[in-house]
Structure 1
Amino acid sequence: MEIKFFIPRWGNRHLSWADFAMKAKLAGYAGVEAGLPSDEDEKLAMFTQLNDNGLSWIGQHFETATADFKEHVKQFETRLYALASANPLFINSQTGKDFFIFEQNSELIELAARVSKETGLRILHETHRGKFSFCTSNTAGYLHKYPDLRITADFSHWCCVAESYLQDQQDILDLAIDRTDHFHSRVGFPGGPQVNHPAAPEWKEALDFHCQWWDAIVQHHLMLKSDTLTITCEFGPYPYMPQLPFHQHDVSDLWEVNLFMKNFLEKRYADLLNQ
């Protein structure tokens, strides 16, 4: 099995697509996870630079935000078809709302399944605050209802929501791990979705808990004899990245943090993959 690492466009928009793509390539990333630009010039620049640098693209859906459910359905469907038409590796979707009722979020999940079937493109649903998958117990209901539902695991959100390292929710974690096809390697903690630097010794406990979950995902895909597992190193900018008071300076360099995460996991899984 091959593990491929991706870098998010999120937090790197100060760079042109030419500079961002080249920087990602030189850092050893296989590709980029990003939304589909609405501006045609930016869209052209994005795909030109990804192609010129040999980078793959994971399509990201996050834009559908309206609380009006009927309008939400229309916007969600339009966005998924637009992403699918641009031919990403797959779509990672932040789906639904935490305040939509179970039946409404189910309608959105079923809509995504229909789009996936029609287009032949995988659509994964990210575990994310504010969405149907904002916490363990809520997500479990949908995983039980839909045996084919596949997810992007970002367990940093669940740590934040539960204000714990989920020690008492292993059964639900196991279910989520079994359904994970892609994960975001961001380290959360009981007080928030992102530590200030995963290499700092004071965050060893947080990193260790996340590594247990990520290791289980990797082992599961090895057992399944998957050809490829994708990981996005998705530490993000302010307000995810803390800043110094009064100065608004990030306490850590975002690019360096994500690169640390990639290099750390590459080293961690090198021997395992070569067995």
Structure 2
Amino acid sequence: MKKVDVYQSLWGMRDLPNQELPWSIEEQVCKIKEAGFDGILQFVDDFSDETQNLTELIKNAGLKLGLSCVGYHMEDIEGKIKYAKNCNAEFLNIMVKDYFIVGKEATLLLENILRFGKAMMVPTFIETHRGTITQDLIRTTEYLKSIPELQLTIDFSHYVVSGEISIPEEKVEECFDALLKRAAAIHIRISNGEQVQVPIHGLDDGLYANFIRWWQKGIDYAMSHGEVKKPFPIVVELGPHPYQQKFSSPEGEWLYDYNRWEEALRWKNIIEKF
């Protein structure tokens, strides 16, 4: 069995190759398949015919299906877990709203989500994301102490930008390490501490190396958890505008829009060497 499966986020295909003449959904799926990705991460907000047709399109293309959603309340989340069950998704990634839910209320909600996911036999992961129940690094680290079954989709770009982390301090590394021990999936996006998403050539070598090191550590921890039955899912998720913005290089030169598809393929090649 290979170590990782590389998914491409369908959200990350939006407005490609450009806003004026974007690829159709069918073309997006075809491009992902031709590029050799193992699967696609589909965002699910409803259960419309359009959503279901897209799910079938992905599966008929011979690609693995990962699902991602925003969970607004328990009833909403249960419906999305059931959808993941019915379409035999490899996993469901949930961004749990909202970030004003804290303490015991947050812990109880997470426990209920995980309990329902387990009952439905759907691998259910909670994403580290701004504006959600995992809003900040400190509170997310606290969840781990009280919820031993909590599995995370790691996206450290949100914590790096919200904490303006350019040089990780010892306390940051300790918290990141605790989260990586619960990593069940990883989203590939790099932040420079000021912008949530920058391309590879928009970083200095130190920041690039830190993200690679964190991701590799998360995979290694996951591989050490007894018998591993499936490859570890890694999702290349480079968002469209406003995630994609102009940025400056480490030398201070202003650079503008980059080709997200070329960047995604570059990341795919890097990840496959892990």
How does the TM-score come out when normalised to structure 1? 0.85
Q: 1:49: how far off?
A: 2.1
260, 264, 269: which is aligned to 1:254?
Answer: 260
Q: Which residue of 2 aligns with 1:263?
A: 269
Q: Is the 8 A contact 2:99 2:134 kept in 1?
A: yes
* Cα distance in 1 between the residues matched to 2:45 and 2:145: 34
Change (3 A) 1:222 1:122: closer
Q: Which residue of 2 aligns with 1:273?
A: none
Q: Which residue of 2 aligns with 1:193?
A: 196
Q: Which residue of 2 aligns with 1:161?
A: 162
Q: Which residue of 1 aligns with 2:242?
A: 239
* Cα distance in 2 between the residues matched to 1:85 and 1:46: 14
Identity of aligned residues (%): 24
Deviation string, structure 1 residues 212-266 (Cα, Å, up to 9, x no partner): 101111222333353411100111111110049xxxx961111111111111222
Q: 1:60: how far off?
A: 0.5
1:49 aligns with 2:57: yes
Q: 1:199: how far off?
A: 3.3
Q: 1:99: how far off?
A: 1.5
Q: Is the 8 A contact 1:150 1:181 kept in 2?
A: yes
Structure number having the greater helix percentage: 1
Q: Which residue of 1 aligns with 2:179?
A: 176
| Secondary structure of 1:7's aligned partner | strand
* Cα distance in 2 between the residues matched to 1:77 and 1:49: 24
* Cα distance in 2 between the residues matched to 1:112 and 1:63: 10
| Secondary structure of 1:181's aligned partner | strand
| Secondary structure of 2:206's aligned partner | helix
* Cα distance in 2 between the residues matched to 1:109 and 1:39: 23
| Secondary structure of 1:61's aligned partner | strand
Change (3 A) 1:95 1:198: same
Q: Is the 8 A contact 2:43 2:67 kept in 1?
A: yes
* Cα distance in 2 between the residues matched to 1:152 and 1:115: 18
Structure 1 unmatched runs, 5+: 65-71, 270-275
Amino acid at match of 2:95: Q
Q: 1:4: how far off?
A: 0.8
Change (3 A) 1:63 1:263: same
Q: Is the 8 A contact 2:59 2:65 kept in 1?
A: no
Q: Which residue of 2 aligns with 1:31?
A: 39
Q: Is the 8 A contact 1:77 1:111 kept in 2?
A: no
* Cα distance in 1 between the residues matched to 2:123 and 2:177: 22
Structure 2 unmatched runs, 5+: 15-21, 248-254
CA RMSD between the two structures: 2.2
* Cα distance in 2 between the residues matched to 1:220 and 1:117: 21
Q: Which residue of 2 aligns with 1:74?
A: 75
| Secondary structure of 2:11's aligned partner | coil
Q: Is the 8 A contact 1:151 1:179 kept in 2?
A: yes
Q: Which residue of 2 aligns with 1:62?
A: 70
Q: Is the 8 A contact 2:155 2:189 kept in 1?
A: yes
* Cα distance in 2 between the residues matched to 1:30 and 1:220: 22
Q: Is the 8 A contact 2:4 2:234 kept in 1?
A: yes
Q: 1:172: how far off?
A: 1.4
How does the TM-score come out when normalised to structure 2? 0.85
Considering Cα pairs closer than 8 Å and 6+ residues apart, tell me whether 1 or 2 has the greater RCO.
Answer: 2
1:107 aligns with 2:115: no
